[in-house]
Chains A and B, each alone.
Chain A
Amino acid sequence: MTEAAAAPTPTDAPATPAVVDRPIPPRGWLVIASKELGDHLESARFAILLIVLGLAAGIPLYLAAEQLRTLASQVSGAQAVFLAMFSLGPRDQSIFQFDVTVQGFVGLAAPLLGIAFAFDAVNGERSQGTLPRLVSQPIYRDDVINGKFTAALAVITLVLVSVVLLISGFGMLRLGIVPTFAETLRIILWLVVTIVYVGLWLSFGMLLSVVVHRAATAALLGLGAWMLLAVFGNFLVQLFLAVFLPVNASGTAEQQIAGLQVQDFVMRLLPVTIYTEATTVLLNPTVTSVATLSTINQYVQKQQQLPTFLSLDQSLLLVWPHIVVMVAITAVLFAAAYIRFMRQEVRA
C-alpha cells in the first residue's frame, strides 16, 4: 500500500471541487423542449409536415373555391360562409372516398403527424446511445417525455395555425369573404379540438416509442394503427356492425332506433368518430345534434323544426363530451407511456 493509502487523506485543499450551489434547473423539460424544437424545425419531418398540411389545405380549397364563390354571392351576409371554406368540398364528392374538405383532410392527416413526430422520441435516444447520458443529468425522467411532447405539439400547432391563417387570408383576399366574430371563434375552437386530437396521437406515438425498442417497428405499428383506426376505421366498423349488430329493418320503429343507438355507440369507440363529430358541429352551425334520436317523438320534433343556426355556446355544449373524451384518452395514453418509461432500464 503505497500512494494509494496516502492519496485520499488530504481532504482540505482541493479535495472537493467547488461545485454545486448552482440551483437544479427548475425546468428541465423546457430545455429538452427547446432543443427538440430546434431539431424538428431542421428535420426532414418538418418539410413533410408542411407538405402534408399544405396539401390538406390546398387541394380541398382549390376544389371548393368555385362553389364557394357562387355560394358567397348568393348568400352574402349569411353566417356560415366563411366556415364553408373549411367544411365544403367539391360538388362531385362521390369519386373520393373521403371528405375532400379542409376539415376532412386535416382530420386524416393529424393522426399521421402525431405519430410521425413521436414514434422515435425515446427509442431514438436509446439507439443513438444518448438516453443514458440524458437521464443522468439532473432532470426528472418525465421531463424527457414532457419536453418531447411539448416540442412536437408546438411544431404541429405552429404549422396548423399558419395553414388556417393562410386559408383565411386566401378567403378574405381572393373570395372576398370576411369572417364574423362567431365564425372566428368557431375556427379557433376547431383548431383547439384538432390540436387535442393531434395530442392524442402524439401520446400514442410516445407510448410506442417507449414500448417498442426499434424505431422502425414503432413507425410501422403507428402507421398500421392509423390505417386501421383513422383511415379504414369507419369502414371496418360499419362492416362489423352490418354483420354482427344489424338494424332490424322489419322491426318496429323503436327496435330500429335502439339498433341505431347501439351502432352509434360502437362507432364512437373510434377516436376518429369523436373528432369528426366534434369538428363537424363546430364548423357547421346547422348541425344541431350528434346523437341518434332516442324516441319517435324526437324524430317528429326534428322534422317540424325550422332549419336554424346553432349559437356557438350551444354548439360547444353539444361537443363538450367529445372534447373531454379526447383529453381523457390522451391522458391515459400519456400516463401509460410515462409509467412504462419510469420503470424502464436505460441501458441500450
Chain B
Amino acid sequence: MSGPGRTESRTGRIRTEPPIRTRALTKQYGDLTAVDNLDLEVRAGEIFGLLGANGAGKTTTILMLLGLSERTSGAVRVVGFDPARQPLEVKRRVGYLPDSVGFYDDLTGRQNLRYTARLNGLSGAVAGEKIEMVLDQVRLADRADDKAGTYSRGMLQRLGIADALVKDPNVLILDEPTTSIDPIGVVEILDLLRGLVRDRGVTILLSSHLLSQVQSVCDRVGIFAAGKLVGIGTVAELAARFGEEDAHVEVGFEGTSDSAVAARLEEVLGAIPDVTEVRRGSHALEPWTLVVRPADAAIRVREAVLSVSARDGLHLTSIRSVTASLDEIYSKAIRAAGLSSGAHRPPSKPAAGGKAVA
C-alpha cells in the first residue's frame, strides 16, 4: 500500500484508507445536476455495485473518480490520491473498463493489450507474460491473435477487462461490464470478478442498470437515482429497509396433492402468528408461500413452521426465506426518495445508511 493511504484510527491501530471515498461530490452541467452531494465509500477487497437507471449519474461519478471529468465541488480520494490533482497516480493504480469499450480494429487483441502495457511502462518479456496471464484469466488466449475487429461484443467486453488488468490495478472500475452480453457470458464475467477479488485482493466498483444480474456478485450496493445515492448497504440490509412490509417464506410439504392434507396444512399454517396469507403452489410439487407481516417476523415464522410440523406430523421437505429482489428494492428506494424529495433530505438518505453500516 502506498504511503498516503494510511491513517491512524481512533483505536490507535493503523487502518488503511478506503480505496474509494467521496465527500459531497457534485457535478453540474449548467442547470443540470448530474451528481448531487454524493458520499460514497468503497472498502478494500469488496465488490461494490453502483446501480441505477441510464442517466442516473453513474458514469459521471466514475469519470470523476478517475480524474477524467472535473468535479464542480466536493472531495474525492481514490487509492489515497485526489484524482483531480494527481490523476496519473490514480490512473496507474486503477483499471477502468469504460461503457461500450472499444479497441483498435486493425490490431489483434494481444497488440491492443501490448499498447496499454507500454502506456503503463511495461514492455518486453514482462509485458508479454502479463498479457498472457490476463488473456488466460478472461479466457481469450485462443483468440488473442485475431484482429479485435472480428471480436463479438462479449469478447470485446472480456478483452476490456483484460485491458484493465494489465496494469495490475489495486482498484477496478467497471462501467456496465455485463451490458450487451448473453446470460452465460454474464455468469462468466461475474465469476471472473469474484475470482479477482479472491485471488488478488482487488477492490471492484461496478456500475449497472441490470440489477438482478449483479445482485449475486456485489458485497454491497449503492442505489443511484437522479445523481443521488438513495440507498447503500448489502442487499439484505437494503431489503430490510426498502423491501415490502411483507416477507415471504417458502415451505414444501409432502402429500399436498391430497386435498384433505392440503386443507389441514392450510389451517395449521394459517394459525401461525404473523402469517397473513397462505398461498398454495400452483401444482403439487411447487412449494407454498407464507406471506408474513411484519417482515422481520420471518425468522419466528420459520421456527414456528418447524415446530408445528414436528408436533402435527407434517412432512416438511423444504423451507426458505425469499429475499426481495434488487429490482423490487430499487423501485421502492426510488419511490421513497421521490416521495420525500424537496427541501428536506430524504430520511433514507444514503449518508446515514453508509455510516451505520460502517
Do A and B actually bind?
yes
Contact across chains for A15 and B201 when beta carbons are under 8 A apart: yes
Interface residues on B, range: 35 or more
B326 CB-CB contact with A under 8 Å? no
B140 CB-CB contact with A under 8 Å? no
A92 CB-CB contact with B under 8 Å? no
Q: Which residue of B lies closest to A130 (CB)?
A: B102
* A7-B46, A8-B43, A133-B163 known; A25 vs B118 contact (CB < 8 Å): yes
Residues in A with CB closer than 8 Å to B118 are: 25, 31, 35
Interchain CB contact (< 8 A) of B104 among A19, A128, A346 = A128
Interchain CB contact (< 8 A) of B219 among A3, A31, A129, A139 = A3
A23 CB-CB contact with B under 8 Å? yes
A sample of 27 inter-chain contacts (CB < 8 A) reads: A1-B234, A1-B237, A5-B234, A7-B197, A11-B16, A13-B201, A14-B200, A14-B201, A16-B44, A17-B201, A19-B92, A20-B93, A23-B121, A31-B119, A35-B118, A128-B102, A128-B104, A128-B105, A132-B101, A133-B101, A135-B68, A136-B68, A138-B88, A138-B167, A140-B88, A346-B68, A347-B59
B208 CB-CB contact with A under 8 Å? no
Known A4-B219, A8-B44, A13-B201; 20 more pairs at CB < 8 Å: A1-B236, A3-B219, A4-B234, A7-B197, A11-B44, A14-B201, A15-B16, A16-B201, A17-B201, A22-B122, A24-B88, A24-B121, A31-B119, A32-B119, A129-B98, A129-B103, A130-B104, A138-B92, A138-B120, A345-B63
Interchain CB contact (< 8 A) of B63 among A8, A39, A346 = A346
Residues in B with CB closer than 8 Å to A15 are: 16, 44-45, 201
B357 CB → nearest A CB, Å? 7
Residues in B with CB closer than 8 Å to A39 are: 104, 106
B328 CB-CB contact with A under 8 Å? no
Q: Which residue of B lies closest to A17 (CB)?
A: B200
* A14-B201, A15-B44 known; A132 vs B98 contact (CB < 8 Å): yes
Would you list the 4 A-B pairs with minimal beta carbon distance, nearest first?
A: A129-B102, A132-B98, A25-B121, A138-B92
B176 CB → nearest A CB, Å? 12
Contact across chains for B236 and A137 when beta carbons are under 8 A apart: no
Contact across chains for B105 and A28 when beta carbons are under 8 A apart: no
B window 39-78: CB within 8 A of A:
43-46, 59, 63, 66, 68-69
A2 CB-CB contact with B under 8 Å? yes
B168 CB-CB contact with A under 8 Å? yes
* A17-B201, A20-B168, A346-B63 known; A139 vs B119 contact (CB < 8 Å): yes
* A16-B170, A22-B92 known; A137 vs B357 contact (CB < 8 Å): no
A253 CB-CB contact with B under 8 Å? no
A348 CB-CB contact with B under 8 Å? yes
Q: Which residue of B lies closest to A31 (CB)?
A: B118
B1 CB-CB contact with A under 8 Å? yes
Residues in B with CB closer than 8 Å to A136 are: 66, 68, 91, 94, 96, 98
Contact with A along B77-111 (1 / 0, CB 8 A): 00000000000110111101011111111100000
Assembly CA distance A42 to B105 (angstroms): 13
Assembly CA distance A15 to B43 (angstroms): 11
